[in-house]
Amino acid sequence: MSTRADAGKPAPPWQTAAQPPETSDAIQALLAGYFQRLAEDASASRRDPSEAAAQAFRNRWLGRRQGVLQQLHETLLKPAPPAWKKALGQALNLLRREADALAEALEAAARQAAARQRLASEALDITLPGSPGAGRGAPHPLLRVMDEIVEIFAGLGYSRAEGPEMETAFYNFEALNIPPDHPARDEQDTIYLGPGLPGLLLRTHTSPGQIRVMQRQAPPLRVVVPGRVYRRDTPDASHSPMFHQVEGLAVDEQLSFADLKGTLEHFARVYFGTTRARFRPSYFPFTEPSAEMDVECFACGGRGGAACRTCKGSGWIEILGCGMVHPELYRFAGQASGRWMGFAFGMGVERIAMIRYGIDDIQRFYSGDLRFLEQFRD
């Protein structure tokens, strides 16, 4: 097929008509052969759905130097008398738009064909047996520890619940008895998501999930809420702006601090193998009374001394905070506090993992160093 602009070139319309046409119909009739050639060329190019063929089509018709439209511009539009330029320009623009649309369609078909070919060549047969020499993966140590903690409480009748990481200030603070002017809110009231998401922040603890469960489910209930949390902490050996927590909640009739102690001492015996625990008075806005729980150092047997790096010589290891649910939380959850009593607890997964495996730097969990992670393969 000839693609040169002078092949079958029509005579200049101002030589075949005495007066300029009132519409572009006469001009389009003179260019009908080019529209026909364009359609035939596109049809032939579709039989070769390759990027090279699509590019060749675009170059033939829309090339800046040798393209058919450029040649028509030079040989027809430029020398045309002023009275003819408008109608002739409209016809050539119509031809150019048609050529451009066909070129884009050919290029899209070529991309799709290339994608199909690439998918066919890269297909993975998942029915093939694995290679015996291939390395096996393993859960990340933080996920493993978190699942182990949840499993222990599942054995006590606790169910697992999830909550959103993008939380409202109400659930993250107010519903947990932390009003806007509360001093305990200062260090956590920071990670808001900007003017595009007003009032939303990254949760600073998983406690909001407990309030959501209390709103959805009437007591009695027992639930643990694991997940990621975020705080404005400078990364160092013991701090990270993102870490993991497991928090628990139990609400029932006549629950007492003795039930809380018994539950957490059972957890310590199962997970750490330690037989002694102690509870020190503490403060949390959402529990009253509140306590910090320490367990006897399993590395030195509680003897302490400078030689024990696990407990730093004290003989005790702090592992979590806990307390009886503050009466205000029942009001926020829409429940009467007179009948129901409950307790809550929360622990940092990274801290538990560091104690469990003797890790001295929390940043090792996030480094992605395979030499570190391969140590936890079974």
Q: Grade residue 5 by pLDDT with cuts at 50, 70 and 90.
A: very low
Rounded Cα gap, residues 293 and 280, in angstroms? 6
Q: Counting beta carbons within 10 angstroms of the beta carbon of residue 325, is it exposed (0 to 12), middle (13 to 18) or buried (19 or more)? A: buried
Residue 126 located in a structural domain: no
Same domain for 202 and 332, yes or no, is yes
Give the model's pLDDT for residue 7: 46
Helix (H) or strand (E) holding 346: strand 340-348
Same domain for 256 and 353, yes or no, is yes
Q: Grade residue 204 by pLDDT with cuts at 50, 70 and 90.
A: very high
Give mean pLDDT, residues 117-144: 76
Amino acid at 240: S
Q: What is the pLDDT of residues 287-306, one digit of tens each?
A: 999 999 998 887 777 777 77
Rounded Cα gap, residues 242 and 247, in angstroms? 16
The CATH number of residue 290's host domain is 3.30.930.10
Q: Are 180 and 144 in contact (CB under 8 A)?
A: no
Rounded Cα gap, residues 27 and 86, in angstroms? 10
Q: What is the pLDDT of residues 342-353, one digit of tens each?
A: 999 999 999 999
Region of poorest pLDDT, from 12-16, 100-104, 195-199, 328-332: 12-16
- Domains in the chain, number: 2
- End-to-end alpha carbon distance in the chain: 69
Residue 133 located in a structural domain: no
Same domain for 89 and 150, yes or no, is no
Same domain for 177 and 50, yes or no, is no
Whole-Å CA distances, 129 to 119, 120, 121, 377: 21, 20, 20, 21
Residue 350 located in a structural domain: yes
DSSP 232-269: ----SSS--SEEEEEEEEEEEET--HHHHHHHHHHHHH
DSSP 122: T
Beta-carbon neighbour count of residue 153 at 10 Å?
Answer: 23
Domain that holds residue 106: 13-121
Residue 265 located in a structural domain: yes
* pTM as predicted: 0.62
Q: CB-based contacts of 190: which residues, under 8 Å, 6+ apart?
A: 201, 231, 232
- Whether omega for the bond prior to residue 12 falls within 30 degrees of 0, making it cis, is no
Give mean pLDDT, residues 242-257: 93
Same domain for 148 and 290, yes or no, is yes
Q: Are 177 and 287 in contact (CB under 8 A)?
A: no
Give the model's pLDDT for residue 165: 94
